[in-house]
Structure 1
Amino acid sequence: MDGVPALPSRWALARVTGPSMSPTVRHGDRLLVARADRARPGDVVLARFPARPELLVVKRLVRAVDGGWWVEGDNPLVADDSRAFGPAVVVGRVLARLAPRPGRLPRSRP
Protein backbone atom coordinates (compact mmCIF):
# COMPACT_ATOMS: atom_id res chain seq x y z
CA MET A 1 0.00 0.00 0.00
CA ASP A 2 1.35 3.44 -0.92
CA GLY A 3 2.97 5.33 1.92
CA VAL A 4 3.22 2.32 4.26
CA PRO A 5 6.78 0.96 4.52
CA ALA A 6 7.25 -2.81 4.28
CA LEU A 7 9.64 -4.80 6.44
CA PRO A 8 13.18 -4.45 5.06
CA SER A 9 13.85 -8.21 5.13
CA ARG A 10 11.98 -11.54 5.22
CA TRP A 11 12.50 -11.89 9.00
CA ALA A 12 12.47 -9.32 11.77
CA LEU A 13 12.71 -9.12 15.53
CA ALA A 14 10.29 -6.86 17.36
CA ARG A 15 10.29 -5.66 20.95
CA VAL A 16 6.91 -4.96 22.53
CA THR A 17 6.46 -1.54 24.10
CA GLY A 18 3.40 -0.88 26.23
CA PRO A 19 0.47 -2.89 27.61
CA SER A 20 -1.93 -3.03 24.63
CA MET A 21 -1.46 -6.75 23.94
CA SER A 22 -1.30 -7.92 27.56
CA PRO A 23 -1.61 -10.70 28.65
CA THR A 24 -0.71 -12.36 25.29
CA VAL A 25 2.52 -10.40 24.97
CA ARG A 26 3.90 -7.96 27.49
CA HIS A 27 6.09 -4.90 27.55
CA GLY A 28 9.66 -6.02 26.83
CA ASP A 29 8.80 -9.30 25.08
CA ARG A 30 10.91 -10.08 22.02
CA LEU A 31 9.02 -11.48 19.00
CA LEU A 32 10.02 -13.28 15.81
CA VAL A 33 8.17 -11.79 12.84
CA ALA A 34 7.92 -12.98 9.21
CA ARG A 35 7.11 -10.58 6.38
CA ALA A 36 3.37 -10.86 5.79
CA ASP A 37 2.60 -13.13 2.84
CA ARG A 38 -0.72 -14.16 4.30
CA ALA A 39 -2.66 -13.45 7.44
CA ARG A 40 -6.07 -14.34 8.82
CA PRO A 41 -8.32 -13.18 11.63
CA GLY A 42 -6.92 -14.18 15.01
CA ASP A 43 -3.26 -13.79 13.96
CA VAL A 44 -0.99 -11.49 15.96
CA VAL A 45 0.71 -9.17 13.50
CA LEU A 46 3.05 -6.24 13.05
CA ALA A 47 1.09 -3.47 11.36
CA ARG A 48 1.17 0.17 10.34
CA PHE A 49 -1.66 2.66 10.02
CA PRO A 50 -1.77 4.70 6.78
CA ALA A 51 -2.70 7.72 8.91
CA ARG A 52 0.45 7.15 11.05
CA PRO A 53 2.98 5.21 8.90
CA GLU A 54 5.81 5.91 11.37
CA LEU A 55 3.95 3.91 14.06
CA LEU A 56 4.69 0.18 14.03
CA VAL A 57 2.33 -1.82 16.28
CA VAL A 58 1.75 -5.39 17.45
CA LYS A 59 -1.98 -6.18 17.33
CA ARG A 60 -4.46 -8.97 16.63
CA LEU A 61 -6.31 -9.17 13.31
CA VAL A 62 -10.05 -8.93 13.78
CA ARG A 63 -11.41 -8.67 10.23
CA ALA A 64 -10.66 -7.38 6.74
CA VAL A 65 -12.20 -3.96 6.00
CA ASP A 66 -12.01 -1.42 3.20
CA GLY A 67 -8.49 -0.04 3.31
CA GLY A 68 -6.85 -2.97 5.10
CA TRP A 69 -7.46 -4.81 8.37
CA TRP A 70 -9.26 -3.94 11.57
CA VAL A 71 -6.73 -4.63 14.34
CA GLU A 72 -7.16 -4.51 18.10
CA GLY A 73 -5.01 -5.10 21.14
CA ASP A 74 -5.88 -7.90 23.54
CA ASN A 75 -6.09 -5.38 26.40
CA PRO A 76 -9.47 -3.65 25.88
CA LEU A 77 -8.50 -0.74 28.14
CA VAL A 78 -5.83 0.49 25.70
CA ALA A 79 -7.21 1.87 22.43
CA ASP A 80 -4.09 2.54 20.32
CA ASP A 81 -5.49 0.36 17.55
CA SER A 82 -8.08 0.60 14.74
CA ARG A 83 -10.53 2.17 17.18
CA ALA A 84 -8.23 5.23 17.20
CA PHE A 85 -6.42 5.09 13.84
CA GLY A 86 -8.74 3.18 11.46
CA PRO A 87 -7.71 0.29 9.19
CA ALA A 88 -4.14 -1.00 9.32
CA VAL A 89 -1.80 -2.55 6.79
CA VAL A 90 -0.18 -5.80 7.91
CA VAL A 91 3.59 -5.82 7.36
CA GLY A 92 4.47 -8.98 9.29
CA ARG A 93 2.99 -11.95 11.10
CA VAL A 94 4.27 -12.78 14.59
CA LEU A 95 5.46 -16.38 14.64
CA ALA A 96 6.66 -16.74 18.23
CA ARG A 97 7.80 -15.03 21.40
CA LEU A 98 11.56 -15.53 21.78
CA ALA A 99 12.08 -14.00 25.22
CA PRO A 100 11.61 -13.87 28.11
CA ARG A 101 8.97 -16.65 27.88
CA PRO A 102 9.62 -18.52 24.60
CA GLY A 103 6.65 -20.04 22.83
CA ARG A 104 3.93 -19.74 20.23
CA LEU A 105 1.14 -17.21 20.65
CA PRO A 106 -2.53 -18.20 20.93
CA ARG A 107 -4.69 -17.57 17.83
CA SER A 108 -7.50 -16.14 19.89
CA ARG A 109 -7.78 -13.58 22.65
CA PRO A 110 -7.23 -14.92 26.15
Structure 2
Amino acid sequence: MPERVHERGPEDGRDPLGGAREPGRGSGGLLRAFGLAEVYNPSMVPTLQPGDQLVVRYGAVVRPGDVVVLRHPFRQDLLIVKRAVERRDGGWWVRGDNPYVENDSREFGTVPDELVIARAWLRLRPPRGLQRSPRALLSWAVSAVSAVRSVRLDRSLSRRLRAR
Protein backbone atom coordinates (compact mmCIF):
# COMPACT_ATOMS: atom_id res chain seq x y z
CA MET A 1 0.00 0.00 0.00
CA PRO A 2 1.58 3.32 -0.97
CA GLU A 3 2.31 5.89 1.69
CA ARG A 4 -0.05 8.81 1.56
CA VAL A 5 -0.01 12.26 3.11
CA HIS A 6 -2.92 14.67 3.13
CA GLU A 7 -2.20 18.37 2.92
CA ARG A 8 -4.87 20.90 3.81
CA GLY A 9 -6.57 22.05 0.64
CA PRO A 10 -8.40 25.19 -0.52
CA GLU A 11 -11.67 24.07 1.04
CA ASP A 12 -10.27 24.69 4.52
CA GLY A 13 -8.72 28.09 3.82
CA ARG A 14 -5.29 26.92 2.73
CA ASP A 15 -3.68 27.01 -0.67
CA PRO A 16 -2.92 23.75 -2.54
CA LEU A 17 0.69 23.77 -1.33
CA GLY A 18 -0.48 23.73 2.27
CA GLY A 19 0.71 27.21 3.23
CA ALA A 20 -1.84 29.22 5.17
CA ARG A 21 -3.35 32.19 3.40
CA GLU A 22 -3.13 35.51 5.13
CA PRO A 23 -6.57 37.17 5.30
CA GLY A 24 -6.85 40.17 3.01
CA ARG A 25 -3.36 39.69 1.52
CA GLY A 26 -1.90 37.83 -1.41
CA SER A 27 -0.09 34.56 -0.93
CA GLY A 28 3.42 34.74 0.45
CA GLY A 29 4.98 35.81 3.69
CA LEU A 30 6.15 33.78 6.65
CA LEU A 31 3.00 31.67 6.97
CA ARG A 32 3.33 30.48 3.38
CA ALA A 33 6.64 28.82 4.27
CA PHE A 34 4.87 26.38 6.63
CA GLY A 35 2.12 23.85 6.09
CA LEU A 36 0.35 20.95 7.77
CA ALA A 37 0.33 17.37 6.49
CA GLU A 38 -1.27 14.22 7.90
CA VAL A 39 0.44 10.82 7.81
CA TYR A 40 -1.83 7.96 6.70
CA ASN A 41 0.36 4.87 6.33
CA PRO A 42 2.97 3.03 8.42
CA SER A 43 6.12 3.42 6.29
CA MET A 44 7.75 5.73 8.86
CA VAL A 45 6.89 3.69 12.00
CA PRO A 46 8.25 4.00 14.71
CA THR A 47 9.18 7.65 14.02
CA LEU A 48 5.72 8.60 12.73
CA GLN A 49 2.40 6.85 13.27
CA PRO A 50 -0.67 6.92 11.01
CA GLY A 51 -2.76 9.88 12.16
CA ASP A 52 0.21 12.04 13.14
CA GLN A 53 0.15 15.60 11.84
CA LEU A 54 3.37 17.18 10.57
CA VAL A 55 4.21 20.85 10.54
CA VAL A 56 6.38 21.14 7.43
CA ARG A 57 8.65 23.85 6.08
CA TYR A 58 8.54 24.44 2.33
CA GLY A 59 11.81 25.20 0.59
CA ALA A 60 13.93 24.22 3.62
CA VAL A 61 17.41 22.87 3.03
CA VAL A 62 17.37 19.07 3.11
CA ARG A 63 20.23 17.15 4.67
CA PRO A 64 20.82 13.40 4.95
CA GLY A 65 18.73 12.06 7.82
CA ASP A 66 15.88 14.61 7.48
CA VAL A 67 12.24 13.54 7.22
CA VAL A 68 10.78 15.02 4.03
CA VAL A 69 7.48 15.28 2.19
CA LEU A 70 7.78 14.54 -1.51
CA ARG A 71 5.72 13.82 -4.58
CA HIS A 72 5.77 10.16 -5.57
CA PRO A 73 7.91 9.90 -8.73
CA PHE A 74 5.34 7.72 -10.55
CA ARG A 75 2.17 9.39 -9.20
CA GLN A 76 2.94 13.04 -8.64
CA ASP A 77 -0.55 13.73 -7.23
CA LEU A 78 0.42 11.44 -4.30
CA LEU A 79 2.46 12.93 -1.45
CA ILE A 80 4.61 10.63 0.67
CA VAL A 81 6.80 10.98 3.77
CA LYS A 82 10.30 9.46 3.79
CA ARG A 83 13.75 9.96 5.26
CA ALA A 84 16.34 11.52 2.95
CA VAL A 85 19.26 9.07 3.10
CA GLU A 86 21.81 10.57 0.71
CA ARG A 87 22.36 12.73 -2.34
CA ARG A 88 22.92 10.89 -5.60
CA ASP A 89 23.14 11.88 -9.22
CA GLY A 90 19.71 13.20 -10.07
CA GLY A 91 18.35 13.76 -6.57
CA TRP A 92 17.72 12.08 -3.22
CA TRP A 93 17.74 8.45 -2.18
CA VAL A 94 14.84 8.15 0.31
CA ARG A 95 13.79 5.37 2.68
CA GLY A 96 10.99 4.72 5.13
CA ASP A 97 11.92 3.96 8.74
CA ASN A 98 9.74 0.83 8.72
CA PRO A 99 11.87 -2.02 7.32
CA TYR A 100 8.75 -3.98 6.27
CA VAL A 101 7.41 -1.32 3.89
CA GLU A 102 9.38 -0.93 0.65
CA ASN A 103 7.55 1.98 -0.99
CA ASP A 104 10.70 4.08 -1.26
CA SER A 105 13.80 4.48 -3.46
CA ARG A 106 14.28 0.70 -3.48
CA GLU A 107 11.10 0.63 -5.56
CA PHE A 108 11.24 3.89 -7.54
CA GLY A 109 14.89 4.97 -7.48
CA THR A 110 16.33 8.42 -6.91
CA VAL A 111 13.84 11.25 -6.37
CA PRO A 112 14.55 14.46 -8.33
CA ASP A 113 15.08 17.60 -6.22
CA GLU A 114 11.97 19.28 -7.62
CA LEU A 115 9.76 16.50 -6.18
CA VAL A 116 11.03 17.06 -2.61
CA ILE A 117 8.67 19.79 -1.48
CA ALA A 118 9.10 20.16 2.29
CA ARG A 119 11.04 19.11 5.38
CA ALA A 120 9.17 17.95 8.48
CA TRP A 121 9.68 20.27 11.43
CA LEU A 122 7.23 19.19 14.18
CA ARG A 123 5.13 16.10 14.83
CA LEU A 124 1.70 16.61 16.40
CA ARG A 125 0.35 13.34 17.79
CA PRO A 126 -3.43 13.23 18.29
CA PRO A 127 -4.77 11.54 21.44
CA ARG A 128 -5.26 7.79 21.06
CA GLY A 129 -8.56 6.83 22.63
CA LEU A 130 -10.37 8.68 25.38
CA GLN A 131 -8.18 10.45 27.96
CA ARG A 132 -10.16 9.94 31.18
CA SER A 133 -7.70 10.60 33.95
CA PRO A 134 -5.72 13.81 34.51
CA ARG A 135 -2.55 11.69 34.56
CA ALA A 136 -3.32 10.17 31.13
CA LEU A 137 -4.17 13.60 29.74
CA LEU A 138 -0.92 15.07 31.10
CA SER A 139 1.08 12.15 29.69
CA TRP A 140 -0.45 12.69 26.25
CA ALA A 141 0.10 16.47 26.42
CA VAL A 142 3.80 16.01 27.18
CA SER A 143 4.30 13.67 24.21
CA ALA A 144 1.84 15.25 21.75
CA VAL A 145 4.24 17.78 20.22
CA SER A 146 7.84 16.96 19.40
CA ALA A 147 10.47 18.02 16.93
CA VAL A 148 10.99 15.67 14.00
CA ARG A 149 14.64 14.89 14.47
CA SER A 150 17.15 14.16 11.80
CA VAL A 151 18.95 10.88 12.17
CA ARG A 152 22.68 10.93 11.75
CA LEU A 153 23.41 8.43 9.02
CA ASP A 154 26.87 6.94 9.07
CA ARG A 155 28.51 5.65 5.91
CA SER A 156 28.05 1.98 6.81
CA LEU A 157 24.29 2.46 7.26
CA SER A 158 24.12 4.36 3.99
CA ARG A 159 25.95 1.53 2.20
CA ARG A 160 23.66 -1.10 3.75
CA LEU A 161 20.54 0.83 2.73
CA ARG A 162 21.87 1.23 -0.81
CA ALA A 163 22.74 -2.48 -1.09
CA ARG A 164 19.19 -3.66 -0.33
TM over 0.5: yes
Match for residue 46 of structure 2 among 8, 15, 23: 23
Q: 2:82 aligns with which of 55, 59, 83?
A: 59
Q: 1:11 aligns with which of 18, 24, 34?
A: 34
Distance in 1, Cα, partners of 2:71 & 2:110: 9
Higher strand share: 1
Find out whether 1:102 has 2:128 as its counterpart: no
Secondary structure of the 1:54 match is: coil
Larger CA deviation: 26-35 vs 99-108: 99-108
Letter matched to residue 98 of structure 1: L
Higher helix share: 2
Higher RCO structure, 1 or 2 (CA under 8 Å, sep 6+): 1
Q: Which has the larger radius of gyration?
A: 2
Who is 2:58 aligned against?
35
1:57-96 equivalences under 5 Å are 57-88=80-111, 89-96=115-122
Equivalent residue of 2:77, what SS?
strand
Aligned-pair Cα RMSD in Å = 1.8
- 5+ unaligned residues in a row in structure 2: which ranges? 1-15, 20-32, 127-143, 153-164
How many correspondences in the alignment? Answer: 104
Contact 1:60 1:72 in 2 (8 A): yes
